[in-house]
Structure 1
Amino acid sequence: MEETPEVAVLRLGHRPGRDERTTTHVGLTARALGADRVILAGSGAGRGETIEDITDRFGGPFSVESTDEPIATVENWEGPVVHLTMYGLPIQEVEGEIRDVAGIGSDDTEDLLVVVGAEKVPFDVYEAAAFNVAVTNQPHSEIASLAVFLDRLFEGRELDREWTNAQQVVVPKAEGKQVTEPE
């Protein structure tokens, strides 16, 4: 049976008053597009509450953690580390190698840490990462970068993910909105 590596997203930095929605959206994007957990760097009461609430309502599995030592998290990670940065190598040149190293689609997997910055990322992260990856070498949103990366990593399979323990389920419709309780 094919194993799936754990994919964790580390959100580096958080500028209070400026990044609340962005940090939340990094976590929601990670959850929706196939990651298993998000690790939020730094303290801040309630930063993960919205992500946890969405997971409770719309299903999981997905977890939210925090760390006061994000560089140690990167340096001590036991599998490959991917740092998303506009200064990195183009994703289309390295995505296959990343899938191979993580063991996506094979029986031999290694957990993958995806690092997404907020403020200036310490050079230690660039050095510790196995891959510094750009979805484009133009300025853009870290949320967009994470979404494109995860979709490329999983080759679209994350869009068919099954959610467990949901209290609410979105019913796809061509027009309008419908949310129901699971059967």
Structure 2
Amino acid sequence: MVIEVVRIGQRLVRDDRVTTHVALVSRAFGAETIFMTEVNPEIKDTLGKINETWGGNFTVEFIENWKPIIKKKKEDGFKIVHLSMYGEKINDIQDKIRGRENLLIVVGAEKVPREIYELADYNVGIGSQPHSEISALAILLDRIQEGQQFEKEFLGAKRKIIPTKTGKNVQVKETRD
């Protein structure tokens, strides 16, 4: 299963950090790519540095318009999952989404165009109270992968966190120039 994310929109200044965190959660929870509209280009540099230090090959692609990428992914057989507070309950729909199908997850910043609701194969709500798109994405990715994304090794990592009951333990790999 391939998982990709598209971030639509950004409330200027306020959302640089939120959009960066949407990308970080996407990467850490098993997505391969994030497509972004209206973003600060420094976000791509930040994620590149994360990949370099912590491993992996997560990609950030800037797009001018969300519609062509959603339509192309649908043509390529991806199921489109739109995170929305107004969608079907995650508890009721997670089993339908979980599986072998490739997914493109749509994460909005502000009010998303009505057309996204219509293009989506699944409009999914995480709870019935206002919440962060970051938390909604993390919950969705965890539910559809049943925690297996945390067993994955990030290739090329210079640092790796070693789980420990107390304190911090980070393994740093020696690099030779």
Q: CA deviation at 1:120?
A: 0.9
3-state SS of paired residue (1:15): coil
Where does residue 121 of structure 1 map in the other structure? 112
Where does residue 171 of structure 1 map in the other structure? 162
Where does residue 80 of structure 2 map in the other structure? 81
Percent of matched pairs sharing the same residue: 40
Superposed CA RMSD in Å reads 1.4
State how 1:9-48 maps to structure 2 within 5 Å: 9-48=5-44
Higher mean C-alpha displacement, 43-52 vs 111-120 = 43-52
3-state SS of paired residue (1:114): strand
Instruction: Name stretches of at least 5 consecutive residues in structure 2 with no aligned partner.
Output: none
Note if contact 1:33-1:159 (Cα within 8 Å) is conserved in structure 2.
yes
Q: Does 1:68 align with 2:81?
A: no
2:34 and 2:17 mapped to 1: Cα distance? 15
Q: Does 1:99 align with 2:98?
A: yes
3-state SS of paired residue (2:98): helix
Aligned residues: 171
- 1:158 pairs, out of 145, 149, 156, with 149
Note if contact 1:88-1:137 (Cα within 8 Å) is conserved in structure 2.
no
Note if contact 2:16-2:40 (Cα within 8 Å) is conserved in structure 1.
no
Q: CA deviation at 1:36?
A: 1.1
Q: CA deviation at 1:137?
A: 2.0
Instruction: Name stretches of at least 5 consecutive residues in structure 1 with no aligned partner.
Output: 104-109
Q: CA deviation at 1:53?
A: 1.2
- 2:3 pairs, out of 2, 7, 21, with 7
Q: Which amino acid aligns with 2:49?
A: D
1:167 and 1:47 mapped to 2: Cα distance? 20
Q: CA deviation at 1:111?
A: 2.1
Q: Does 1:51 align with 2:47?
A: yes
3-state SS of paired residue (1:89): strand
Note if contact 1:71-1:124 (Cα within 8 Å) is conserved in structure 2.
no
1:173 and 1:98 mapped to 2: Cα distance? 33
Where does residue 106 of structure 1 map in the other structure? none
Q: TM-score, with normalisation over the residues of structure 2?
A: 0.91
Note if contact 1:43-1:67 (Cα within 8 Å) is conserved in structure 2.
no
Note if contact 1:84-1:114 (Cα within 8 Å) is conserved in structure 2.
yes
Q: Which amino acid aligns with 1:6?
A: V
Where does residue 138 of structure 1 map in the other structure? 129
Q: TM-score, with normalisation over the residues of structure 1?
A: 0.88
